[in-house]
Structure 1
Amino acid sequence: MLNFLKKLLPKKSSLFQSQYLQLNNLEKQTKKRFLLDEAHLYPCLNDNTAETGFDRHYIYHPAWAARIIKQNNPAKHIDISSILNFSSMLSAFLPVDFYDYRPAKLELSNLKSLQGDLMNLPFPSDSVESISCMHTIEHVGLGRYGDPMDYDGDIKAINELKRVLAPSGSLLFVVPLGATDTIHFNAHRVYSKQQVLDLFSDMKLEEFAFIPEDENDGGLVIDPSKQLLDKSNYGCGCFWFTK
């Protein structure tokens, strides 16, 4: 393994090897508690960075949503296919039902993981007080996750979200945002802010936040400028709507 690393990544493997030998020497100076040999090497060569990196979309948008839900303090929250760690963390503080086209085998107290189709949500009209659907709608109808092909699948899913939301209820909605409405088949759609507002023209926008592509433009930007939005290709738009 060490010889292979030398050929593949000479600079990084040199540091890796020297640290491995150092740890071997340190082991000899104390009580041996682990099995340490070349058969169990697990090279991680890209983590020695000046800062901790993270996916800006998937760190900031759940943090944005959690703060709003805490502020609203609903009796229960429904999440439709957002990133799983959002529902799992949120369930520590209030009951959460998580629905996905491909249900997750997730077992935690206060959390139910259930099968659900965004085209036909299993709730009566005007019945859900608090609901989120984040970084999900952009995929509907593109077949990526085994769902049926449907060019207007996103519109049909949005109409279902609006149907089930209770009067005065809150919907937290997140999609990729850019200057131009684009389909990157079969990954996702990218929306302009205006198209999202048009699709929800019958609802009230309580808050709009934006996660820019460039960290130098800020983290979670509330009410971003048109200039910031216009230079975006794949930012993240966070919309809080009420009915």
Structure 2
Amino acid sequence: MKQFLSDLRLLYVNLKKTFTSWKMERQLKKEFFQDFSLYNSMASKGMEAGVRELRPCLWEKTSFTKIEPIYFYQDNWAFERILKQRPSDHVDIGSHHKFVSFLSMTLNVTMIDIRPLSLPVNSLSFKEGSILSLPYDSESIDSLSSLCVIEHIGLGRYGDEIDPLGSEKAFTEIDRVLKKGANFYFSVPVELEGRVFFNAHRSFSENYLLETLHNFEVIDKKYIYGEKFETTLRDGFGIGCYHLQKKT
């Protein structure tokens, strides 16, 4: 019953956001055409905006610069922690390309992904591969990151095979390739009880994560709830950011 009420509240919030968005969009379209008319009334001959060239950008008249909190917080957190360790080589599996490319400007970074990047990055080495079968020998990596990746494994969203234990197998494979004492940085959705949001992602309870990763000790952990970056796990959907070190 408690879960049903929680899901019902979430549905209400999402529907409210949708209807509010529709109302705002109507107003923004009205303002857009008012601005279009005003611009053309002020423009000299040859500088008018044509109808065929209209490219409406409706959502950027804001009083502040909107930042997507998950990638902003987790990428900054991981970047800082990796730089503090200064590994001679770092491996990333499937994290956001901006995070990996910026990190590669400061360290030797190899990115692993099932799909090659569509653009070259000179400072970044790339290997096509799967998180379930990494192209590395056992206990060969000192430093590894995988941000907002592992929760997707096994759901088929990115062309991977359906496997209800995909995330667990990914953790096992990462454990295999990391040396004793190696640093592992990752983020996944966390809740007090794990769920499957097919085919978007899974969420995990922290107890389950740490039991699965029993060969590691926690060095640092942070949580993203909405627009807040916090140090304490609490009820509700969030993103857990974990820096673990493999036990020696």
**What are structure 1's unaligned runs of at least 5 residues?**
1-7
Partners of 1:91 and 1:109 within 8 A in 2: no
Residue 229 of structure 2 is aligned to residue 237 of structure 1 = no
Residue 184 of structure 2 is aligned to residue 158 of structure 1 = no
Partners of 1:105 and 1:113 within 8 A in 2: no
Structure 1 residue 10 displacement after superposition: 4.9
**Which of 217, 223, 226 matches 1:210?**
223
Q: TM-score, normalised to structure 2's length?
A: 0.83
Please give the per-residue CA displacement for 1:87-114, whole angstroms capped at 9, x wherever unaligned: 1111121221111112222311220222
Structure 1 residue 55 displacement after superposition: 2.2
RMSD: 2.0
Q: Residue in 2 aligned with 1:19?
A: 35
Amino acid at match of 1:16: F
Partner Cα distance (1:165, 1:121) in 2:
11
Residue 145 of structure 2 is aligned to residue 126 of structure 1 = no
Structure 1 residue 35 displacement after superposition: 6.9
* Paired residue secondary structure (2:171): helix
Partner Cα distance (1:16, 1:94) in 2:
45
Structure 1 residue 76 displacement after superposition: 1.8
Partner Cα distance (2:108, 2:217) in 1:
26
Partner Cα distance (1:12, 1:151) in 2:
44
**Which of 194, 198, 201 matches 2:211?**
198
> Alpha carbons of 1:53 and 1:128: their partners in 2 closer, same or farther (altered >3 Å)?
same
Partner Cα distance (1:10, 1:174) in 2:
38
**What are structure 2's unaligned runs of at least 5 residues?**
1-23
Partner Cα distance (1:26, 1:67) in 2:
49
Q: Residue in 1 aligned with 2:153?
A: 140
Partner Cα distance (1:142, 1:14) in 2:
41
Partner Cα distance (1:236, 1:55) in 2:
13
Residue 180 of structure 2 is aligned to residue 171 of structure 1 = no
Partners of 2:114 and 2:129 within 8 A in 1: yes
Structure 1 residue 25 displacement after superposition: 4.4
Amino acid at match of 2:137: P
Q: Residue in 2 aligned with 1:37?
A: 50
Please give the per-residue CA displacement for 1:94-145, whole angstroms capped at 9, x wherever unaligned: 2211111122223112202221111111111111111101111111111111
Partners of 1:104 and 1:114 within 8 A in 2: no
Residue 115 of structure 2 is aligned to residue 106 of structure 1 = no
Residue 230 of structure 2 is aligned to residue 221 of structure 1 = yes
* Paired residue secondary structure (2:136): coil
> Alpha carbons of 1:114 and 1:27: their partners in 2 closer, same or farther (altered >3 Å)?
farther
Partner Cα distance (1:124, 1:154) in 2:
20
Partner Cα distance (1:236, 1:40) in 2:
41
> Alpha carbons of 1:45 and 1:103: their partners in 2 closer, same or farther (altered >3 Å)?
same
Q: Residue in 2 aligned with 1:74?
A: 87
> Alpha carbons of 1:194 and 1:11: their partners in 2 closer, same or farther (altered >3 Å)?
same
Structure 1 residue 22 displacement after superposition: 3.2
Residue 75 of structure 2 is aligned to residue 62 of structure 1 = yes
Structure 1 residue 15 displacement after superposition: 1.8
Amino acid at match of 1:242: Q
